[in-house]
Amino acid sequence: EKAFVVGYVGRLAEEKNLPFLMRAVASFLKKEKNALFLVVGSGPLEEAISLHFTELKLEKQLRFAGEMKGKKLIEAYQAIDVFAFSSRSETQGMVLNEAMAAGTPVVAVDAPGVRDIVSDEINGRLLPGENEEEFSKALNWVFDRPPSERKKLIEGAKETAKKYSVERSATKAL
């Protein structure tokens, strides 16, 4: 209950740049023993992720939740303290918006689609490139925010999600 939860939701596949993400998150978990990595989804890299965390003796800080939909998925997003994302190929960034709708700040690598949603130090951290140490530091940055500053990140995430709501997007399209 009191663990700091780093989360990922999506397909567990190479195109999501998960080898980078698992190394960066593992680096953070080594420093923060009261943190967990919650992985929601399935795919061909599940075994590789599990093996990596086991080799680093971090398997107790890794949780696979499998695929989720509806209320269970919403609950998973709400359980996450920071959403970690490293995909280079997002066109819409739907999982980012879903995380933010739940009030979850995001740490992400700059990429098309991602930069449209993540505003550095407003609703999370947007990193200019793939650097495991910098990604780990960005997770730590969110972890270290005092409650008042974390609340601002949560509010920033929710405000961003409103910009991309179905209603607002439909009105823009019309």
The pLDDT of residue 174:
84
pTM of the model: 0.94
The pLDDT of residue 164:
81
The pLDDT of residue 137:
98
Low-confidence ranges of the chain (pLDDT < 70): 91-92
The pLDDT of residue 156:
97
The pLDDT of residue 172:
79
The pLDDT of residue 20:
97
pLDDT 10s digits, 50-59 = 999 999 999 9
pLDDT > 90 fraction of the chain, expressed in percent and rounded = 86
At 63, list the tokens.
């949780």
User: Helix 132-144 to helix 18-31 angle, to the nearest 10 degrees?
Assistant: 50
Report the candidate in 88, 130, 83 with the shortest Cα–Cα distance to residue 107: 83
Helical H segments across the chain, by residue range = 18-31, 46-55, 70-79, 94-101, 132-144, 147-163, 166-173
Compute the distance between CA of residue 111 and CA of residue 44 in angstroms, rounded to an integer.
Answer: 23
At 136, list the tokens.
């780990």
